[in-house]
Structures are given as C-alpha cells and as structure tokens.
Amino acid sequence: MRKKESNIFKICKTTVFYPGKDFMPSSILLINKSINIISTIFIVIFLGFVLDFINAGFLIGNFGIFSLLVYVPLKVYLFAGIYGSVLDIVYGEEYVLGISNFNANAKKFWKLYCGCLILPFILFILIQNVSFFGFRVRLADVIYFSNVFVISFFIYYAAKIKYVSLSKKGCCTILDLFVILFCLCVEAILYFLDHYFALYEYLPGNFVVIGRLYVHFFEFIYIAHLFCNYYALPAGSNAEEKELFIINPAGGGILNYFGSFFLRTYPPIFLVLKALTPKYYRIREFNRVMWHKRYFKKGVLVAITSFSSNSPDSYYIAKEFKKLGAKVIMGGPHVSFLPREALEFCDSVVVGDCTSVWPEIIRDYEHNCLKKEYRGVFNSGYPLPIHEELMKAPLAEVKDFLETTRGCKFRCDFCTVPAICGSTINSKPISEVLELLSRFKGKYKLINFIDNNIFCNPQYAKELFKAMPPLNLKWVSQCTIDIAADEEALKLAKQAGCIGLLIGYEINASSLEKDKKGKLSLADKYIEYTKKIKKAGINIKAHFIFGFEDDNFLSLFKLWIFCLRINPAITVISFLTPFPGTKIYSDMLGAARIESLNWRNYSCQNQVFKHKNINSLFSLFVYPLIYVFFLFTTSKVGYLLVIIAIFVLSFD
C-alpha cells in the first residue's frame, strides 16, 4: 500500500521531481524561457548597469540628492520600457526587444513606474536620520530598495488586474515562489556584499552590480510570465497568418560579434524583402539579436542574409528551422558564390540579386514547389517598389540604405564587388535620390551613403552633388582616392555636404602591390591626393590592408609611418581576407594556401591563409594590438580617445 503522501510532497512531486505527462515541470520551463528572454534584452541590463554605475560612481558623489533628477527619470524609462516589452515578448507580439517598441512601451507605462520609483525616495527623505541596527540608511540603499520595490509593485499591479490572482490554481507553484524568493535573496546578498563588504574592490568591472541587475531583471521576467500566461491572446494574432522571418545573424570575430549588437546598421536587404513581399505576410525581423532557440518556429518562411563571417550562424539557424519544417531561403555575398554549401542547410539559395526572383520565390513557396536555386540578375538596378518602400519606411531604417550607385570602376582582386556587380555600374535616377534625401532634410544632421564607391560614375556624381546643396545635409560615403584628381568633383562634393570619405588606401606608396593596375597604382599620388581632400575640408577614414604578398613587419612599420604622414580622422587596418568570389580566393584555393575555411574568421580581422612572412598564430594575438595601435597613434579620433582615457583614468 503506497504511503499517504503529505501535501507539500504531492505538490513537489507534481511540479518538480516526478515526470508527469510533460517531462519538464512548468517552473523549470519558465526559468529556461525567462533566461532566454533576459539574454535577448542583455543590452538593457547593460544600460541599467551603466546607469547605476554612473549614478553610484559619479552622480551621487558630485551632486548628492540632485543626482536623482537624472537617475530616476532614466530608471523609470528603463523599467517602463522593459515591462511593456516583456509583455510583448511573452504574448508573441514581438520576438525581439527593439528600440522602437521599447520607446513605445516606455511611453505607455512610465506613469506606473514613476509612482513606484519616487515613493522610496520620498521615504528616504523622511527617514534620513534614522538608523536600523546601527546601519544608517544611505541613498545607495534606497536606490537598491527601489529595485525591490519595483518588483513588488509589479506583482501588485498585475494582481490588481482582476483576471489573475496568485492563489488561482496552477497559476503559481511552490517552485515558482521558491524561485522568486531565491532570486530576491541572491539580490539582497549581492547588494550587501557589494555595499557593506566592498566586494567591488576585489572583482573587476563591478560584476556584482551587473550580476545583481541580471538577477533583478530575471525576477521581473519570471513573474511577467506567471501572470501573462493567463491573459487572453491579443486580438489579431491568428495561427493561419503567413509569417516571414527575415534574419541577419551576428557576424564573426569579437569586434563584429559585439558590434552586431551595439553598432550594427539596419540591413538594406530587409527593406528590399519587405518591399517585394505581399502585404498579407506578417514580417518578423531579427537584426541585432543574440539568437535563441525560442525564435525557431514551424510553418514559417525564413529568409537569411549572410556574408562570410556570419554564415556559420546562418547555417545553424537555417538547419534548425528546416528541421522544424519551416522553409528557408538564403542569399547574400557569401552564399551567392557557394550555393551548394548553403544548400546543405537550407531549402533554396538565391545567387545574386533577389529583386528579380523574390516574387517567383513567394509564389513557389505558396504552391509548395520551391526550387533549390534561383539565379537573380546581379546588380539589377533599382526597381520602383523598393523606392516606394524607402519613401514610406521609418527613417531609422532607410538611413542605412541610402545608395546612389552600385558597382565599381575598379576590379581589385581582394574585393567581392567586381564579382557581385560585374562591370556594370548602376546609378539610381537622381530624381529618386533627391526625393528620398528630402525625407531627411531637417531631421538628420548626418547621412551615410552605402555606395561601394560614390565616385564610380564621375559624371553622375557631379550632377548629383550639384543638386544636393538645397537639402542642407551632411554626408559621408565610401570613395576611391581618384576623386582628388578632379578638383571640380571635390569642390562639388564639399558644397553638397560631404564631410567625410571612407577611402580604401589599402597599401602605402612603397608597397609592391602598386605595380598592379587599378586603384592601387595610384599609391604614388596618395600624399598629394590626401592633401587635396583635406584642403577641400573633407575628413578621411583611411582603410589599409595588411597581408599582401610581400608584406612583413618592416612593411608594417613603413605603413605605420605612412599613416602618420596621412594622419586621417580614423585609421582602420584590416587583414587581407580571401572572400569567396574574389580573385585572391580562387588563386589561394588553387595554390592550397587557404589554412582555415572557418568562415567566422572571414571578418577582415584574422589571417586565414599561409603567408611567407607572417605566421597566422602570431597575427591572431598581434592583429588586435596592431588595429588599436594604428588607430590610437595615427588618427585624430585616436588621439581624442587617448586624451579622454587619460582624463577618465586621472579621475580617481
């Protein structure tokens, strides 16, 4: 006869220890889901940490109680935005926490958090001179308790909604309560360790503060789940709906990986696909996200854009979606040259431009007859639907897809553009460019043209520059240095608002690469042309490449001296990378010189091929130092960063 089990044990049995129908008890799943969500909003935790850090480390010390005038509004914005966005994520309204919906949510819920954050401070002012067990309450304590207060207020607010109460059966298991209490305790312990035993003096970078914030937000999301599971699904979200997931996975290489979250621009391809996809598709965008398995979904169409350095992430995501039965299409400058490799992971590949084939792909998808490969016409110009989409899409998205020409007059053997665009140079109708730019007038101070080379069609460029002054826009773009040979073009560019050009110098005047034809043969004129561009009042972001045939550490030193003479606004030194589709890729492959085909390393920051003078292991450790050394010692921005660093470090 089985022994009569006590209540607690029964509950634990059902919720934790004994596998019921679903192996994983709801709480464990909830913990897992909450960790998933929290890591997609890591940027907010980081912002919360920076806010607390600046407040505790600077504002309070210098402005005392007045620091609250800065701290509280920012904290309200952060919590209100998080609160609303967690609800969005839990309901499936949004998959990813985007800045746009974050702002919208902050506006929606700020009053709620204004109340709960101000209350503790009023209390503080009242109990200023009171001490508890010999501890005098300090402002920092109040800041901490305000966080706990937020959680408790969140519970009250959610419980206030009649539909749901903690006591409702199945709403909250013992384990859930244990998880919440456990987190609150961990938070309290971390707080006291931090504040009363100065743990931060032992641990670098205040891990304790960010750890405490992480736990704090975890609680937040965990409780959000507990309540939201019982809300009715919002109107309008139906399962029949056709969904298109557009994904731009994070790039490879440390700089690119974190750059992907903080600095990444809005991928132009997203706007192209949105313009060409029928409006009855619900489109979900994944650009600046740390990918998580909770994003995988069956029954959807998935479009993944990949260049070499993010292709391993792209392949992993494609494979997992395909396993679920979703249909996966890939495209971009990497898979266009290695379609067979991509087809091992996805259903279809678009080689070249998708504008001419995407409507056919949608049709084939809806008739369940997708082909393995779709050959788009490379560089197929600027179809009107895309311009129309750009004319109505949010400026925050369009600003990263301002393109006047596509293609380049040079055919450098390390660049993919000649293979992507062929010898044709496509110029967008100037009327369309001006119409689009007029949307930015008075709204954006600075815009960026993504042209590979804004001076690839000099006639067109000068005509455009002549028409731009009335827009009163400042702009930057990529350009080849031969613009300096055309005084008129340089003057017109400046009058049109050009303040900076990214110029691919690639080599210095003493490099043997200059004997090759093309833009590198201009190397002897680099100093003269640089002076002309600077004299025209245009800043230079100088890009150099290390790793050419005869490069060695002496040539690197000469390159450094050359950069000092150029003294651009920013110096960027990349490592020669044989991208698929480039001449050096096929040459090196043919000569069996490629050492690594781990595409993550194809981010211009790693040596992936054998070099007679440079050892790849050596460059692995030295390249980041070379990158920073060249930036800090040869460029104006570098000098500024050094001064700021000295200023901040001299603060202690």
Residue number, 120 or 331, with CB nearest to ligand B12: 331
Instruction: Kindly state the smallest distance separating residue 314's Cβ from ligand B12, in Å.
Output: 9
Q: Is 139 among the residues that bind ligand B12 (CB under 6 A)? A: no
Instruction: Kindly state the smallest distance separating residue 382's Cβ from ligand B12, in Å.
Output: 10
Residue number, 27 or 619, with CB nearest to ligand B12: 619
User: Which tokens is 597 given?
Assistant: 């085909």
DSSP 519-556: GGGGGGGHHHHHHHHHHTT-EEEEEEEE--TT--HHHH
Number of residues engaging ligand B12 in binding (CB under 6 A): 39
- Within positions 345 to 364, which residues make up the interface with ligand B12, using CB under 6 A? 350, 353-355
Query: For ligand B12, which residue has the nearest CB?
Result: 331
Residue 170 CB neighbour total at 10 angstroms: 9
C-alpha distance from residue 222 to each of 47, 124, 188, 442 (Å): 20, 29, 18, 43
Contacts of 436 (CB under 8 A, 6+ apart): 387, 390, 391, 398, 402
- Within positions 45 to 74, which residues make up the interface with ligand B12, using CB under 6 A? none
In the list 76, 179, 329, 569, the residue contacting ligand B12 (rule: CB under 6 A) is 329
- Within positions 236 to 275, which residues make up the interface with ligand B12, using CB under 6 A? 251, 256, 259-260, 264-265, 267-269, 272
Contacts of 369 (CB under 8 A, 6+ apart): none
Rg of the Cα atoms in the chain: 28
Dist. CA 649–CA 630, nearest whole Å: 22
With contacts defined by CB under 6 A, name the span among 88-96, 327-335, 518-526, 611-619 that binds ligand B12. 327-335
Residue number, 185 or 384, with CB nearest to ligand B12: 384
- In the shown chain, the binding pattern of residues 384 to 423 toward ligand B12, with x for contact by CB under 6 A and - for none, equals ----------------------x--------xxx--x---
Dist. CA 331–CA 649, nearest whole Å: 46
Sign of CA dihedral 78, 84, 90, 96: negative
Dist. CA 191–CA 211, nearest whole Å: 10
In the list 75, 327, 334, 519, the residue contacting ligand B12 (rule: CB under 6 A) is 334
- Within positions 574 to 613, which residues make up the interface with ligand B12, using CB under 6 A? 574, 579-580, 603-604
- Within positions 435 to 494, which residues make up the interface with ligand B12, using CB under 6 A? 450, 452
- In the shown chain, the binding pattern of residues 538 to 577 toward ligand B12, with x for contact by CB under 6 A and - for none, equals ------------------------------------x---
> In what order do the strands lie in the sheet containing 446-449?
446-449, 474-479, 498-506, 539-546, 570-575
Dist. CA 330–CA 533, nearest whole Å: 40
User: Strand 405-406 relative to strand 301-305: parallel, antiparallel, unpaired?
Assistant: unpaired
Residue number, 452 or 571, with CB nearest to ligand B12: 452
- Within positions 275 to 314, which residues make up the interface with ligand B12, using CB under 6 A? 303-305, 307-309
Q: Residue 541: name the closest of 511, 499, 508 by CA.
A: 499
Instruction: Kindly state the smallest distance separating residue 12's Cβ from ligand B12, in Å.
Output: 47
Residue number, 26 or 336, with CB nearest to ligand B12: 336
- Within positions 106 to 125, which residues make up the interface with ligand B12, using CB under 6 A? none
Phi, then psi, of 282 in degrees rounded to 5? -90, 125
Instruction: Kindly state the smallest distance separating residue 275's Cβ from ligand B12, in Å.
Output: 10
CB-CB contact of 596 with 608 (8 Å): yes
Residue number, 354 or 483, with CB nearest to ligand B12: 354
Residue 264 CB neighbour total at 10 angstroms: 16
Site residues (vs ligand B12, CB under 6 A)? 251, 256, 259-260, 264-265, 267-269, 272, 303-305, 307-309, 329-334, 336, 350, 353-355, 406, 415-417, 420, 450, 452, 574, 579-580, 603-604
